[in-house]
């Protein structure tokens, strides 16, 4: 891939897959085929185009259910992304079941979406937010977890993989601790950074909710997934009103559709859902285990290369790390470094990564984040290292 302009002679080294992934041709082709060959709405027509579109749309739901090993495709709700999925649970489950004095437990590694959503409903209902602390190495302090769980704990919402440190949280262990100490609590797992890297079996995990975004698993933007145990979803009221989420409407009263239609008001993102289904098919063909092994080797290689540069500091040293590294540079703002890297056509993310409490915990304002995907190569990391060496020459006069 080349970028137009004065960098055109330099191939793109894309190291921002944690933010969003590049798309395989089958995803682009499926969406193009929908728009060109059978564009229509879903579930609202008996004509053949609509029937074909509805079939493709619901096939994607089945693909997602199988991908997560959900008990039924009826446990899969399509949303606009991880953020909307979390908000759906917070607004629907929280509004109905939270009372004053109830507790919501999150971790110190959360993305803002898994903080702010709960803060809003906690303020509305008079609930209290508690936080699992983060140790210096970037792992959660699970020794503290049992003491944070009480009879008032209503929700535990934890990220599977930190988008700022890369920590892979031991989700199965966390869920077991919660079930043993607060059996009344519901458990939501933010899988935005794990779904494209780690096999997830929601039945084996025994989580109540699991959420992720299409654009982070090689699918399109604008579509996401909320998995929920059917009985839990069925107990929740809708959070949006409109077409398709109803059984009957009169001016006096409305009765709502069964799950998952109850939570999918209005015309959905049809092309995006179809693209998501194709992305999952592609992931299944390539193999998540193979992708994870490839990325683990890249992380190891990157750590080795960065260790050669004393001015680079890697954030955290967790027991298990996902496909990303966050770094700081001695005496250099990461935003300045990112601009120089861009001149080299190396794409990385700089900032707080929508995880300001994580930055505060480690005493930094921002980091430079390089993250990997199925298409990342060692030479992309070499390009990053060469770019950092140029940054050091420009700002500090340091030669490597």
Which residues are catalytic, by number? 354
In the numeric block, the tokens 């891939």 are attached to 1
Q: Is 208 within 8 Å of 202 (Cβ atoms)?
A: no
CA angle (2 as vertex; 216, 394 as ends), nearest 5: 95
The beta strands (E) that lie in the chain are given as 13-14, 76-79, 103-107, 128-132, 153-159, 186-190, 209-213, 224-228, 246-249, 254-256, 312-314, 324-329, 346-347, 349-351, 367-371
Whole-number Å distance between alpha carbons of 110 and 116: 10
CA angle (20 as vertex; 279, 388 as ends), nearest 5: 135
Whole-number Å distance between alpha carbons of 247 and 255: 5
337, containing H or E segment: helix 334-343
Residue 356, number of CB atoms within 10 A of its CB: 15
Q: Is 110 within 8 Å of 190 (Cβ atoms)?
A: yes
Report how far Cα 26 is from the mean position of its chain's Cα atoms: 22
- Residue 355's alpha-carbon distances to 108, 116, 141, in angstroms, are 9, 11, 18
Residue 242 burial (10 A CB sphere; 0-12, 13-18, 19+): exposed
């Amino acid at each position: 891939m080349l970028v137009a302009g004065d960098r055109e002679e330099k191939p793109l080294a894309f190291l921002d897959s944690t933010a969003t992934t590049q798309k395989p041709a089958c995803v682009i082709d499926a969406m193009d085929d929908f728009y060109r060959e059978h564009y229509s709405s879903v579930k609202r027509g008996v004509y053949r185009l609509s029937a074909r579109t509805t079939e493709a749309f619901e096939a994607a739901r089945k693909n997602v259910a199988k991908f997560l090993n959900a008990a039924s495709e009826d446990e899969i709700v399509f949303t606009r992304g991880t953020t909307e999925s979390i908000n759906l649970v917070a607004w629907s489950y929280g509004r109905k079941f939270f009372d004053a004095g109830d507790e919501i437990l999150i971790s110190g590694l959360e993305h803002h979406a898994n903080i702010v959503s709960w803060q809003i409903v906690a303020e509305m209902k008079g609930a209290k937010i508690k936080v699992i602390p983060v140790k210096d190495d970037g792992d959660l302090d699970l020794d503290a977890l049992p003491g944070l769980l009480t009879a008032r704990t209503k929700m535990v919402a934890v990220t599977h993989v930190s988008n700022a440190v890369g920590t892979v949280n031991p989700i199965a262990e966390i869920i077991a601790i919660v079930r043993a100490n607060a059996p009344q609590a519901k458990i939501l797992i933010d899988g935005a950074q794990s779904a494209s890297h780690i096999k997830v079996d929601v039945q084996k995990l025994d989580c109540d909710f699991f959420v992720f975004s299409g654009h982070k698993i090689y699918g399109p933007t604008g579509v996401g997934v909320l998995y929920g145990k059917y009985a839990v979803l069925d107990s929740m009221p809708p959070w949006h009103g409109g077409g398709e989420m109803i059984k009957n409407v009169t001016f006096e009263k409305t009765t709502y559709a069964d799950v998952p239609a109850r939570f999918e008001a209005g015309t959905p993102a049809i092309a995006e859902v179809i693209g998501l289904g194709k992305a999952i098919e592609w992931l299944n063909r390539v193999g998540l285990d193979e992708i994870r092994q490839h990325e683990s080797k890249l992380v190891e290689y990157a750590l080795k290369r960065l260790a050669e540069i004393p001015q680079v500091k890697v954030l955290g040293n967790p027991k298990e790390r996902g496909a990303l590294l966050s770094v700081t540079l001695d005496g250099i703002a990461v935003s300045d470094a990112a601009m120089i890297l861009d001149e080299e056509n190396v794409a990385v993310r700089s900032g707080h990564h929508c995880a300001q409490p994580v930055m505060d915990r480690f005493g930094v304002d921002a980091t430079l984040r390089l993250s990997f995907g199925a298409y990342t190569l060692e030479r992309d990391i070499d390009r990053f290292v060469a770019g950092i060496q140029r940054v050091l020459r420009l700002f500090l006069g340091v030669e490597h």
